[in-house]
Amino acid sequence: MNIFENFRLLKSDMEVKGWIIEAFSFNYKNVDYVVLVKLYQDHEVKVNPYALLKVEFLKAHDIDDNLIVEANARELFANARKLREYFGIEWTENLGSILRQFNEHFAQFIPDKVDLSKSNLFKKAMNKSLSESDSEDPNKIYCYGVRRNSDNGTRSIFNDNKSRLLKPKLYEKFKDDNTVSFCYSPKSDREKSDAEIIRNFTNK
């Protein structure tokens, strides 16, 4: 069996459930990491044609300190030097063996399906990634409304997943109407309750 077979299973589960991003925790050499698994979008070009998905490692104490690699069920497509430097792996004569041990250790943490219960740290890391992919300010986390897209345009998959994360109950009300998008602000005083948002939308 491939060492990262769970990546294949996780990708399938994400596709079935409509998620383009998933997060899980990883610990190596007493350092905690958040790992983001991201599906390729149609416009994205793979560096390695055999890549299945993108994997982003973020240090839990500083999610801006990251390493992005491509991966499939067999391997991480990563420069050995970059891996060593990011994870603090000392250079040794048997480096290949050390990196195999790293892969075996990492593989134990990879889930085979989406976990809907997310910690605040996971939500923050996932929202940051989704916002950047949607050319949005990652600080826009306060929902103040929903709007009908012009010309019956559909909401982006990034706005969809962000709203599932940050406003799950409100999302449930509009999940089946993908011509509706969720509006966010970086200012907490603009945030409105679900009831207010729904009332404002129906009164338009």
The SS3 call for residue 36 is strand
Q: What does the alpha-carbon distance between residue 18 and residue 157 come to, in Å, rounded to a whole number?
A: 8
For the CA atoms of the chain, what is the radius of gyration? Answer: 19
Among 5-14, 29-38, 146-155, 186-195, the minimum mean pLDDT is found in 146-155
Q: What is the mean pLDDT of residues 108-137?
A: 93
CB 163 within 8 A of CB 173: no
Confidence of residue 63 (pLDDT cuts 50, 70, 90): very high
- The single residue listed with the structure tokens 């149609």 is 42
Write out the E strands in the chain.
21-28, 31-38, 53-59, 62-71, 76-77, 142-148, 180-185
What percentage of residues in the chain have a pLDDT greater than 90? 84
pLDDT at residue 123, rounded to an integer: 94
pLDDT at residue 155, rounded to an integer: 94
- Kindly give, in sequence order, each residue whose CB lies less than 8 Å from that of residue 161, ignoring residues fewer than 6 positions away: 18, 19, 20, 21, 126, 130
Confidence of residue 95 (pLDDT cuts 50, 70, 90): confident
pLDDT at residue 151, rounded to an integer: 86
